[in-house]
Amino acid sequence: MLYLLVQVNKSVKCIVPEHVVSIELTNNQFSDLFDAVTLGEYGDREVEVFIRREKSESWKKVDNGLKGNLEMLEVLKYFQVKFCLIEKINLDTPQTANTLNAFDILMNNSYQPLLPQYCTEYNSCNKLFNEIIDLFRNQNVGWTGGVHDTIGKTFVNRIMNAIWYIDPHLSTLHARSLFLSSSLELSVSQPWTNNNVWNQMYEYINIKQYLPIDIMKRYRFIKELELTFPIGVYRYHQGNYLGTINYVWRIPENEDELNETLKARMLARIHKELPQYFTRQMRKNVLNKYSYIRKVTPAVLRMLHFDLTGNAAVTSDVISRDVEERLRLILSLADPNIIFDLRTNNGFKGTKFNEFWNETDAYFNEQNLLAVDERRHGTILYMPLALSVRDLREIITERLKLIYSDPLPFTVHIPSDEWIRLQFCPTNATTTRSMHHTGQFNVKFKIQGRLLRKSSDDAYYCAALFRYLREFCIHYNQWTCLISADDKHKVPIGEDVAVSTGVRNRRSMVAQNSTLAAADHDFTKLSITPSVTFFISIPNEISGSFYDGQVFVSYKDATFEPSNTIRHSTEFLNALNIQYTHQMMPPILCLYTDGGPDHRCNYGSVQIALICLFLSGNFDLLIAVRTAPNHSWTNPAERIMSILNLGLQGVALKRDQMSPESETLFDTTNTLDDIRTKAHESNKLESELKESIASVQNMLNNRIERLSLKEKKFKCNDSANMEAITELFEIRL
């Protein structure tokens, strides 16, 4: 008795699955085994017989077919048999009528191979294109279905480019042992072309685009899917009414462990592409979590949720779905101009403030004051001359007084600061507050702030010292003066061309169609250092504000007036004399500064300068406290720097010309030490350099005096000269 694994195939389709069959070994042929398996159903069909030992081996064909004896299986130790039915080709075609109708002609023409049209031969490349078409025409090949002008033309162009760019370099390729085969057919017939590496194994495709629309036809298409090579199928049931996603890929005849790894990687890629769906409660939890962000609308939150989670669910609400589609269109186009701002219809439409608005518009248009920030890409610009809404209101009021005389007539009305602010574009167009803006002027006020902070081990103790200092000042309020001081970074001064102050152009106003030109980065020899002395108004309790008081600003020439501790002490004393001109100077002076080398209290030079200040001011007590390292942001004077930037932004500085002799001498210098050395040799150079930057200092002083802190105007004082510094040391006990 012989036990075999037998299967019957028709083409690539298995009509009798593999199963175990027992048969007597003696006097039996493969035909007896075939009849036993098929029950004589295919007795009139031509059959091929294949045998093998195990699944890992390839099938071997039996030459005698069904006439072969089964004893060969026992001799060869083969236990698997496959019968393949051969399709019959019926050559007897029935006679049809010789008459043809128009439909038959159209159908026949649709199956005729067509080629792209010839192109005009302007050069050799066009000639090569036409020769390739002639070659295809001689071979009677082409494209059917009307794709010869699309796919066919692209195919010919690619062959033309391959020949055009490779043909001139054949000798170079031969020299590098790269030989092109003379026939593609011979290359394809080589044994190495049958390796799996040259076949697209485990490259999956989604067959959705090939499926019929009808549900039953789609089911039959998948059920009866037949190909000329083995394939793998992966079906993902999405559930509900969403249907099933079907992926197919080609697999080799014999799969090994390496193929299993490739299959696992392919399935991982498929899982990444599968749509993900989240329940309504999951989406609700996410939206509620981030709904506390006031500037994000629910529609934007839903779009963020869909993009970040990959949720493929569709919003059930028709209106919300319409809004999401429009948001998706806006985000894909990335063009803000497709939206019209209806806020232009807001506001009071009367003529009460027409004179003020007309003069404001004229002020914006004069001398191209509105300027673009070249580091930003957009249509909104900024205006660097009006430092604030209050400053703009005062400027326009003064201009109206020049036109209509002072005082203004009763027909000219001045709007409030808030109403002026609402005429500009909103800072953030997505907030509810932006609904009140009219957008009459395409101008925007905007403050930009950034502060880099670094931790320090002494931060806690320095903060405690500052708190003790404030409580001390509150306790002895009537006898104490509290000063906070700090230096701003150096402001460069141009020579032949105006150089920007280096203050980032914070967008104080925004509009269109104008240019403000200045050198952005350049090497400059001269610069000035702004110093801030802040007399703090001491509150009555520790919870009160320590950011109120009088601000003094001085500009020091970095070349001949370095910002050192003795100069700071002299300027403190000068500012005290100005601040307390009409009252008695308090006996207690408290200083709070950062930890720079000109303010660090443990430096001997700083201690000597403070002793001189203590004796010259005839104080009873002087307390000096500094911030922790890298914590200068705790200094109240740092708050003044953001206001000071309003006066320095949008400004380009350039010194005046000196005499030809001084200019020639100045051109030979490169560093500050060189300038000081030359000035020591020539007193004329020092005096003329100071005169050349005097206009720059005056211009900055005028701008700074327009600033204010809580309705208190800034004051500018001159930097301490050598005579005042020397006088500070002449202490009379």
Average pLDDT over residues 300-319: 67
For residues 282 and 305, is the Cβ–Cβ distance under 8 A? no
Tokens 């104008």 identify what position?
514
Nearest residue to 524 (alpha-carbon basis) of 488, 559, 567, 571: 559
Record the tokens describing residue 49, joined without a space: 């017989």
The answer to which of 298-302, 391-395, 398-402, 518-522 has the lowest mean pLDDT is: 518-522
Q: What is the pLDDT of residues 558-607, one digit of tens each?
A: 878 888 888 888 888 888 888 888 888 899 999 998 877 777 888 888 88
CB contact set of 249 (below 8 Å; sequence gap of 6+): 201, 202, 203, 204, 205, 231, 232, 234, 266
For residues 458 and 464, is the Cβ–Cβ distance under 8 A? no
Question: Which range among 189-198, 507-516, 605-614 has the greatest average pLDDT?
Answer: 605-614
Higher pLDDT among residues 632 and 306, named by residue: 632
Q: Do 60 and 139 belong together in one domain?
A: no
Does the structure show a pLDDT above 50 at 440? yes
Please report the pLDDT score of residue 378 as a whole number.
43
Average pLDDT over residues 544-553: 87
Does residue 103 fall inside a structural domain? Answer: no
Q: Do 491 and 611 belong together in one domain?
A: yes
Does residue 101 fall inside a structural domain? Answer: no
Structurally, the chain folds into a number of domains equal to: 7
For residues 425 and 443, is the Cβ–Cβ distance under 8 A? yes
For residues 507 and 448, is the Cβ–Cβ distance under 8 A? yes
Gyration radius from the chain CA atoms: 45
Average pLDDT over residues 39-62: 85
Mean pLDDT over the full length of the chain: 78
Please report the pLDDT score of residue 372 as a whole number.
41
Q: Do 647 and 573 belong together in one domain?
A: yes
CB contact set of 201 (below 8 Å; sequence gap of 6+): 249, 250, 251, 252, 259, 262
Q: What is the pLDDT of residues 621-673, one digit of tens each?
A: 999 998 888 778 788 888 888 888 888 877 778 888 888 888 888 888 878 88
Q: Do 587 and 630 belong together in one domain?
A: yes
Does residue 7 fall inside a structural domain? Answer: yes
pLDDT-based confidence at 169, cuts 50/70/90? confident
Average pLDDT over residues 88-104: 58
Of 140, 156, 180, the position where a domain reaches its end is 180
Q: Do 564 and 644 belong together in one domain?
A: yes
Q: Do 551 and 645 belong together in one domain?
A: yes
Q: Do 649 and 666 belong together in one domain?
A: no
Does the structure show a pLDDT above 60 at 96? no
Please report the pLDDT score of residue 509 as a whole number.
44
Q: Do 556 and 634 belong together in one domain?
A: yes
Higher pLDDT among residues 347 and 181, named by residue: 181
Please report the pLDDT score of residue 345 as a whole number.
56
Please report the pLDDT score of residue 522 as a whole number.
53
Q: Do 576 and 465 belong together in one domain?
A: yes
Q: How far apart are CA 414 and CA 423, in angstroms?
A: 14
CB contact set of 407 (below 8 Å; sequence gap of 6+): 401
pLDDT-based confidence at 354, cuts 50/70/90? confident
Does the structure show a pLDDT above 50 at 373? no
The answer to which of 205-209, 216-220, 353-357, 492-496 has the lowest mean pLDDT is: 492-496
Average pLDDT over residues 526-547: 86
DSSP letters spanning 258-279: HHHHHHHHHHHHHHHHS-B---
Does residue 553 fall inside a structural domain? Answer: yes
Q: Do 524 and 408 belong together in one domain?
A: no
State residue 280 phi and psi, 5-degree precision.
-65, -35
Nearest residue to 76 (alpha-carbon basis) of 111, 41, 50: 50
Rounded (5°) CA angle 409-412-437: 160
Q: Is the pTM of this model over 0.75?
A: no
The answer to which of 321-330, 503-512, 616-625 has the lowest mean pLDDT is: 503-512
State residue 4 phi and psi, 5-degree precision.
-130, 155
Decide: helix, strand or coil at residue 389.
Answer: helix
Higher pLDDT among residues 679 and 585, named by residue: 585
Q: Do 465 and 426 belong together in one domain?
A: no
Q: How far apart are CA 294 and CA 286, in angstroms?
A: 15
Does residue 64 fall inside a structural domain? Answer: yes
Does residue 446 fall inside a structural domain? Answer: no
Record the tokens describing residue 393, joined without a space: 């209101």
Strand positions, DSSP E, 272-422:
none
Average pLDDT over residues 438-458: 63
Does residue 138 fall inside a structural domain? Answer: yes
Q: What is the pLDDT of residues 498-522, one digit of tens each?
A: 776 666 544 444 343 334 444 444 5
Average pLDDT over residues 108-137: 87
Tell me the percentage of the chain whose pLDDT exceeds 90: 6
Average pLDDT over residues 60-71: 87
Q: How far apart are CA 159 and CA 536, in angstroms?
A: 82
Please report the pLDDT score of residue 368 as a whole number.
43
For residues 324 and 315, is the Cβ–Cβ distance under 8 A? yes
Q: How far apart are CA 101 and CA 106, in angstroms?
A: 9
Higher pLDDT among residues 66 and 178, named by residue: 66
Please report the pLDDT score of residue 482 as a whole number.
92
CB contact set of 58 (below 8 Å; sequence gap of 6+): 52, 253, 254
Q: Which helix (H) or strand (E) holds 588?
A: strand 588-593
Of 180, 214, 233, the position where a domain reaches its end is 180
Decide: helix, strand or coil at residue 115.
Answer: coil
Residue 42 DSSP code? T
The answer to which of 47-56, 109-118, 278-287, 507-516 has the lowest mean pLDDT is: 507-516
User: Can you give the residue range of the structural domain that contains 129?
Assistant: 112-180
Q: What is the 3-state secondary structure (H, E, C) of 136-162?
A: HHHCCCCECCCCHHHHHHHHHHHHHHH
Q: Do 229 and 321 belong together in one domain?
A: no
CB contact set of 84 (below 8 Å; sequence gap of 6+): 8, 9, 10, 47, 48, 49, 50
Q: How far apart are CA 68 and CA 33, in angstroms?
A: 11
For residues 493 and 559, is the Cβ–Cβ distance under 8 A? no
Q: What is the CATH number of the domain that holds 63?
A: 3.10.20.90
pLDDT-based confidence at 132, cuts 50/70/90? very high
Please report the pLDDT score of residue 261 as a whole number.
82
Does residue 472 fall inside a structural domain? Answer: yes
Nearest residue to 550 (alpha-carbon basis) of 420, 671, 708, 437: 708
In angstroms, how far is CA 34 from the centroid of its own chain?
70
Does the structure show a pLDDT above 70 at 84? yes
Average pLDDT over residues 207-211: 83
Of 230, 253, 273, the position where a domain reaches its end is 273
